[in-house]
């Protein structure tokens, strides 16, 4: 066996040992698999198969008539509608509907409010996606009731104002689809950070790492074996979460499974570097736990794990986009829910690659065997 083969054989042995140790550790199994499943059941019960019934809409006015201007003003004042005034064109509205950020788009055509036979007339169009169909149809009923009152004020016998609805063929996310990517991010955090910062100090306390240091084992071999082992365990965990979400909560997985697996594996390895750096530096759990919490909690709250980033102020969205977990969650959503390829998430992969280099350089620098 050549020296290079011996080095990789050592990695193979430690991958087997690390993986076996994980599946024998009941506490690790609980926090890595069972705990994320509990969150999945909670959020699935809240959002799973439950369509949105709020009227958060985009309003696109293509008419220059005085009536349309007055109608738009009244829409903004009406408490039934939450008009997103930042959406000014159909393309932006379609993107928002695909991500379930709005329920429907109300379009006023160029002839809306023009005078016909001495009275203003027009047909408003409501555009929606399959996931918001129930809310949109309710919205159509509300608009029809409004137009009925308007028609009665002009001519009770004629319907001068009408509503037309159209379902878009675009794929869109349900609330649960959107939340599920955050749950995967939460699981990756638990696996990649909380695992090492609880295991490494204990291994140092028992003198196991000190004994390993007396062997020919190098730090890079130990890191690579841990990364491969955690990637295997992580993909098994993700597969369980996906299976439960698809079977019980109607998760729509539209992306390529193998590309998603590759993206998840790279994400797990990158996040694991944070756990290796903290666990490798800390002498005991009293040092590791506080530092781990300081790093983890900002990512959980600012990277879109439980709260959508689009609801944050713009400056906070820009700042949070540089957190290590943000490209992970964004990439999962783009592949799993929007069908993007690995090429389509190149910016996210690039950010993960940059963070991986920075994190592992720090981890190699601060790692201590005892």
The CATH number that applies at residue 148 is 3.40.1710.10
Burial 252-290 (b: 16+ CB within 10 A, else e): bbebbeebbeebbbbbbbbbbbbbbbbbbbbeebeebbe
Give 173 or 38, the one with higher predicted confidence: 38
Joined tokens for residue 73:
């003003």
Is the per-residue pLDDT at 55 higher than 80? no
Joined tokens for residue 359:
């994190």
Name the band, by pLDDT with cuts 50, 70 and 90, for residue 75.
Answer: confident
Based on the domain organization, do 145 and 188 belong to the same domain?
no
From the list 295, 237, 300, the residue with the least C-alpha distance to 265 is 237
From the list 187, 354, 365, the residue with the least C-alpha distance to 268 is 187
Burial 75-109 (b: 16+ CB within 10 A, else e): beeeeebebbeebeeeebbbebbbbbbbbbbbbbb
Based on the domain organization, do 238 and 347 belong to the same domain?
yes
| CA–CA distance, 175 with 190 (Å, rounded to integer) | 23
Is the per-residue pLDDT at 264 higher than 70? yes
Question: What is the arithmetic mean of pLDDT over 145-168?
Answer: 67
- Containing structural domain, residue 120: 56-167
Q: Which helix (H) or strand (E) holds 56?
A: strand 56-61
Query: Could you tell me where the DSSP H helices lie in the chain?
Result: 3-24, 26-29, 35-47, 66-77, 90-98, 133-154, 175-189, 195-205, 208-213, 219-249, 257-281, 285-302, 314-320, 325-336, 346-366
From the list 107, 106, 112, the residue with the least C-alpha distance to 136 is 106
| CA–CA distance, 65 with 85 (Å, rounded to integer) | 19
Query: Are the CB atoms for 370 and 212 separated by under 8 Å?
Result: no
pLDDT at site 223: 81
Based on the domain organization, do 329 and 185 belong to the same domain?
yes
Based on the domain organization, do 42 and 60 belong to the same domain?
no
Based on the domain organization, do 79 and 28 belong to the same domain?
no
pLDDT at site 103: 78
Is the per-residue pLDDT at 172 higher than 60? no
**Boundary (domain end) residue, out of 143, 167, 191:** 167
Q: Which residues have CB under 8 Å from 33's CB, separation 6+? A: 237, 240
Query: Are the CB atoms for 75 and 112 separated by under 8 Å?
Result: no
The SS3 call for residue 171 is coil
Name the band, by pLDDT with cuts 50, 70 and 90, for residue 267.
Answer: very high
Name the band, by pLDDT with cuts 50, 70 and 90, for residue 58.
Answer: confident
pLDDT at site 77: 80
Domains identified in the chain, total number: 2
**Boundary (domain end) residue, out of 167, 186, 207:** 167
**Kind of pairing between the strands at 82-83 and 56-61:** parallel
Name the band, by pLDDT with cuts 50, 70 and 90, for residue 134.
Answer: low
Is the per-residue pLDDT at 349 higher than 90? yes
Question: What is the arithmetic mean of pLDDT over 327-351?
Answer: 88
Based on the domain organization, do 123 and 216 belong to the same domain?
no
| CA–CA distance, 195 with 19 (Å, rounded to integer) | 13
Based on the domain organization, do 248 and 327 belong to the same domain?
yes
pLDDT at site 22: 67
Based on the domain organization, do 214 and 235 belong to the same domain?
yes
């Amino acid at each position: 066996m050549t020296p290079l083969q011996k080095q990789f054989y050592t990695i193979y042995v430690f991958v087997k040992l690390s993986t076996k140790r994980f599946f024998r550790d009941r506490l690790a199994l609980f926090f890595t698999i069972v705990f994320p499943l509990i969150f999945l059941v909670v959020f699935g019960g809240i959002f799973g198969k439950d369509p949105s019934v709020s009227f958060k809409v985009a309003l696109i006015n293509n008419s220059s008539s005085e009536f349309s201007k007055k109608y738009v003003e009244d829409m903004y004042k009406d408490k039934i509608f939450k008009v997103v005034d930042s959406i000014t064109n159909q393309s932006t509205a379609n993107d928002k509907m695909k991500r379930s950020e709005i329920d429907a788009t109300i379009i006023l055509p160029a002839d809306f409010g023009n005078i016909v036979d001495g009275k203003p007339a027009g047909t408003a169009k409501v555009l929606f996606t399959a996931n918001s169909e129930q809310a949109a149809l309710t919205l159509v009923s509300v608009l029809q009731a409004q137009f009925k009152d308007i028609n009665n004020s002009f001519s009770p016998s004629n319907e001068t104002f009408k509503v037309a609805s159209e379902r878009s063929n675009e794929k869109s996310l349900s609330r649960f689809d959107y939340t599920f990517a955050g749950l995967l991010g939460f699981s990756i955090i638990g696996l990649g950070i909380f695992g090492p910062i609880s295991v490494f100090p204990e291994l140092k306390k028992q003198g196991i790492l000190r004994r390993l240091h007396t062997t020919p084992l190098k730090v890079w071999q130990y890191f690579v074996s841990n990364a491969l082992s955690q990637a295997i365990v992580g993909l098994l965990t993700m597969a369980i979460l996906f299976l439960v979400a698809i079977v019980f909560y109607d998760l729509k997985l539209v992306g390529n499974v193998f590309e998603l697996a590759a993206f998840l594996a790279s994400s797990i390895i990158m996040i694991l570097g944070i756990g290796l750096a903290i666990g490798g530096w800390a002498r005991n759990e009293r040092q590791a736990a506080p530092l781990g919490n300081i790093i983890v909690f900002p990512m959980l709250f600012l990277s879109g794990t439980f709260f959508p980033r689009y609801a944050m102020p713009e400056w906070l969205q820009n700042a949070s986009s540089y957190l290590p977990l943000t490209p992970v969650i964004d990439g999962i959503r783009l592949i799993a829910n929007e069908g993007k390829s690995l090429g389509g998430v190149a910016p996210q992969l690039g950010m993960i690659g940059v963070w991986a280099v920075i994190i592992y350089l720090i981890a190699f620098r601060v790692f201590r065997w005892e």
